[in-house]
Amino acid sequence: MGGAVSAGEDNDDLIDNLKEAQYIRTEKVEQAFRAIDRGDYYLDGYRDSAYKDLAWKHGNIHLSAPCIYSEVMEALKLQPGLSFLNLGSGTGYLSTMVGLIIGPFGVNHGVEFHKDVVEYAREKLDDFIKNSDSFDKFEFCEPIFVVGNCLEISTDSHQYDRIYCGAGVQKDHENYMKVLLKIGGILVMPIEDQLTQITRTGQCTWESKNILAVSFAPLVQQNRADGEKPDAVQLPPVTVRSLQDLSRIYIRRTLRNLANEDSQGKGMVQRVPQKRKRRRCRRRRINTYVFVGNQLIPQMVESEEEEQPEEEHKEVEEEEERDIGDIEILKQVNILRDQIMALPLPESLKAYLLYYREK
């Protein structure tokens, strides 16, 4: 499933296309998508496909098409402080974007069947925390991933405000998923080739809405011998944050706000790069031949040819130069990190405030 929007050259270009096609409709979802580079979740050698609106699979590693993730993010109606459960959490790409919106006082859990994929997701999460400047621009709820079959979740598990299932759900498993949801919560999952939004309106009442026609691989069901008891999946406990964590959150928030005020006071407003100008194409007709049975028949087909008059060429070059300048402004410095490193504090405390990030 995918291919609904044009291919992008980079992550920002992809998001521009998703916005233009109305798959991304709210600012907070757009910010989350721009903060996480989809290409970072691809294996080396496959990144060229990252900005196409197509699903990607390599072994057990799988990413849905960008248009699916954007519809899911919009349908979940995420807010700070909510609890989120990702069934079939995969690479952690979606869970990481969700964490940027629900913030440090939310809950962010994922269950994934394949152990190697959970390890991959943890590596990608660690890389995001250590190396991405986006990490310092948001208050983040770090996802916690566990290995297990999401159809075997312990019956005494707590309920969640928001749930997404990233695999096809058969009708006889629908109620099982609904029970994991709090009253007032939202569940998004594919049922019978429809991405469906389900809102729990009461103890035994739900409202359903079809969002998008989709095609998902079905949930994995473990094969076990007759009478063999399945291993129940224990979801991570919901715990109160420690005083140290609370201190770090509020210190970082204060420094971030001060840094933003300081940069605005000096006129150092960070700008979003303008979208690159697309080249216009003109169609021309050419002769070609096609086989019909064992006969060659001439046929006229249309071919696209780039058209870029000389007077337009200069304008495009100037726009590209402006884009490069804007990108340099965005990548100059990580203001929060510089603020922390400049504080008269022991190195161990600076490292703690940076979430033990490398300089």
Residue 270 lies in a domain: no
Residue 358 lies in a domain: no
Q: What's the CA gap between 144 and 223, in Å, rounded?
A: 26
Residue 114 lies in a domain: yes
Parallel, antiparallel, or unpaired: how do β-strands 107-112 and 83-87 relate? parallel
The answer to whether position 282 is within a domain reads no
Closest CA to 289 of 298, 280, 281: 298
Number of C-beta neighbours around residue 306 at 10 A: 8
User: Active-site residue numbers?
Assistant: 64
Interval 62-100: pLDDT, tens: 999 999 999 999 999 999 999 999 999 999 999 999 999
> Please, which pLDDT band fits residue 304 given cuts at 50, 70 and 90?
very low
CB-neighbour burial class of residue 82 (10 A; exposed 0-12, middle 13-18, buried 19+): buried
Q: Give the best-scoring range by mean pLDDT among 21-30, 292-301, 310-319.
A: 21-30
AA letter at 124: K
* Domain range enclosing 128: 11-264
* Count of domains for the chain: 1
Residue corresponding to tokens 């600012």: 27
- The answer as to whether 5 is a domain residue is no
Q: What are phi and psi of 104, to 5 degrees?
A: -70, -15
pLDDT of residue 223: 65
CB distance 222 to 114 below 8 Å? no
Choose between 315 and 59: higher pLDDT.
Answer: 59
Look at 121-130, 238-247, 261-270 and tell me which has the smallest mean pLDDT.
Answer: 261-270
The reply to whether 300 falls in a domain is no
The CATH number of residue 96's host domain is 3.40.50.150
**Is 173 part of a structural domain of the chain?**
yes
Structure tokens at 27: 């600012």
- Residue 110 placed within a domain: yes
pLDDT tens digit sequence for 120-132: 999 999 999 999 9
Residue bearing the bigger pLDDT, 331 or 192: 192
Q: What would the two tokens of residue 3 be?
A: 């291919």
For the chain, percent of residues with pLDDT exceeding 90: 58
What the block records as the tokens of 130 is: 């250590």
Beta carbons within 8 Å of 349's beta carbon, 6+ residues apart = none
Q: Quick one: the chain helix, strand, coil %, rounded to 5?
A: 40, 25, 40
Neighbour count for residue 58 (Cβ, 10 Å): 11
